[in-house]
Amino acid sequence: MNGSNGQPEGFSASSLVPEADPVLKIPGIEDIDKVKSLARSMLQRGSVDFESLMENLTYHFEAGEDAIPGITDVAESVLRELISEQAQWPEDEMADMKLLMEAFEVLEQRGVISRANYSCCSRCGNDEIGGDASSHHVGYCYFHEQDLDGCIEHSGLVLRHGVIGDDFADLEKRAENARIIIETMEDVGLATEWNENPERVIHLPGFKWRVRLHDSTNDGNENEGEETGDEDTGEDFLSLDAYVR
């Protein structure tokens, strides 16, 4: 039976509007987007498995036990989203990463300790890298976590450099170390920019940081001894494939 407006009884315009997805709420966390953003950054760095990701997220947001299920849902959603994005990558999307790995291996052979995603900032990195150097290292080259996040967001990477030990104040030695780094980067095919000032960073313009993530709980892959963080030897500083779970 039709009503006075010609529509079936019980009909309302609102019945045509699909119900909105329920809004995810996590106890004790007001801004879910901040959880998503941090999870995305950590996964794109390629240096955490899922357990470490969850530990970092719960610690950062000071989350209680009742928040863990919600944080897990967010982290899983971000991982699936990133894996979906990877399906659209062109074949050469990870070319820069492979070249940088090659360059770091050569630098190690030339006496320059080389580290990726090393420490949280330049102050800490400069203080700590000498302790990781061995007797044959005379210089260093690294980029820290904030450098990496900037590269992921905007493309382009900066390399921090210097000499090991008491020669740090020797600007000529620091400049020579920088020239070794630039020569090595360009030899493998990476473009560089540097203004010849030994106290300034070296730029790799347009550099793309790409790590292919896998959810091994879904695709059956296992992380067979592959490391997703820095190697102490300086070789293969990062696996190009990160098995998150």
Containing domain of residue 31, as a range? 13-86
What is the number of structural domains in the chain?
Answer: 2
**Rounded distance, CA 64 to CA 86, Å?**
33
In a domain, 237, yes or no: no
pLDDT tens for each residue of 115-143: 999 999 999 999 999 999 999 999 999 99
Q: Is the per-residue pLDDT at 24 higher than 50? A: yes
Q: Which residue has the tokens 């260093």?
A: 140
**Nearest in space to 75 (alpha carbons), one of 115, 43, 109:** 43
Q: pLDDT tens-digit profile of 210-235?
A: 999 998 766 544 444 343 333 343 33
114/180 same-domain check? yes
Q: How many CB atoms lie within 10 A of CB 243?
A: 20
Residues 43 and 60 in one domain: yes
The answer to whether residue 234 sits within a structural domain is no
The whole-number pLDDT of residue 234 equals 39
Task: Kindly calculate the radius of gyration of the chain based on its CA atoms and give it in whole angstroms.
Answer: 24
Looking at residues 157-182, what average pLDDT do you find?
Answer: 93
Q: What is the DSSP string of 31-54?
A: -HHHHHHHHHHHHHHT---HHHHH
Residues 103 and 181 in one domain: yes
Same-domain status, 112 and 191: yes
**pLDDT of 193-216, one tens digit each?**
999 999 999 999 999 999 999 987
Confidence (pLDDT) at 242: 74
Q: How confident is the model at residue 25 (pLDDT cuts 50, 70, 90)?
A: confident
Confidence at 27, pLDDT banded by 50, 70, 90: confident
**Residue 216: C-alpha distances to residues 52, 94, 180, 213, 243 (Å):** 15, 20, 40, 9, 6
Q: Specify if 220 maps to a domain.
A: no
Q: Is residue 210 part of a domain?
A: no
pTM of the model as a whole: 0.80
CA torsion sign for 128, 129, 130, 131 is: positive
